Structure 1
Amino acid sequence: MHIAYYITAHGYGHGVRSCDILAALLARHSDIRVTVTTDLPEVFLSSRLQEADGRLTVRPGAFDVGMVQKDSIRVDVDATLDEALELAAERPVLVDIEAEFLRGEGADLVVADIPSIPLEAAAEAGLPAVAVGNFSWDWIYAPFTARDPRWLRVINLFEQGYRQA
């Protein structure tokens, strides 16, 4: 089985959780191979998944913007919206490209912690998909709609994507 696993690079918590999941899967199932797509540093993943025995491939890629941060504790809501709207404009092309990648790689399952574009790509490629997380970006962004109604477009796109899982 080939799992295409997508991890947001917004904070290391997603990566830590996903590495725990991947380590358990790889330890229990010798027939699983995984392609991880993330902008997390490859050394972050490889240092936590040393038992992968060549069954893990990492490719760079990002499919959400998370929250743009002003510094280590403050977010820039306006900059986040700008980047999220840019991503929304690119979304149809990204879904198509990623669906083609999934078909070309022979993926059997898509797992996303927690970008939604890979879930849409999985649906387009006819693959099952699982979303992993303790929150979703539509939920995080929802309070910002009172500040700027353009957030509704971003939220709706995430909701559509998450429904594919």
Structure 2
Amino acid sequence: MSLTEETRRAVNERVSRLREEYQGFSLSGDTVELPRAEYEHARERARANRIGSASACVFDGNRLLLVRTRETGDLWGVPGTMTDDDETLETAAVRAVDEAADVRCSVRDLRRVRRRQVVPADGDDRALHTLWTLFDAYHESGDPSADGDTVTDAKWWSAPPDAVHPSVQSRVESWATATETASR
């Protein structure tokens, strides 16, 4: 079986499991072209069964945990990471929050899933299939602190910051609207 077929099968299996366990999440898909070096790096990850990534919006009452990373600069986002080996997406999301912000949480719902087909920009037709998930989670313990390596800032927000990463913009906006409505 080719790596294209293997990654497609693995993504389909994960989406099927998520459909069985969660209701009402949005599912979208896209294709992205990567420069050859980045594409080869993605192939290496796929060979190691690292085709899924998971992020978590962690809530503590009306507060939302957001982080800034070296990669995102001034934009605030949510902790996320690639899955390790056969790690579930939920476990990866919880691990990402702990590693990025020193906060423990538990997943409560799945908000969004994006299937992505990755192809090299030079026209080679060997596609890879990946999966990105965004979970909602409850805060269990810990006060946010940046890991100092990748994460440059981590804190609770009671209202959205001005600069939010596009990947979580709609989720932050829906949280802010719900928080506003609840406080009236």
With the length of structure 1 as denominator, give the TM-score of the two structures: 0.24
Q: Which has the higher contact order (CA 8 A, sep 6+)?
A: 2
Structure 1 or 2: larger helix share?
A: 1
Structure 1 or 2: larger strand share?
A: 2
With the length of structure 2 as denominator, give the TM-score of the two structures: 0.22
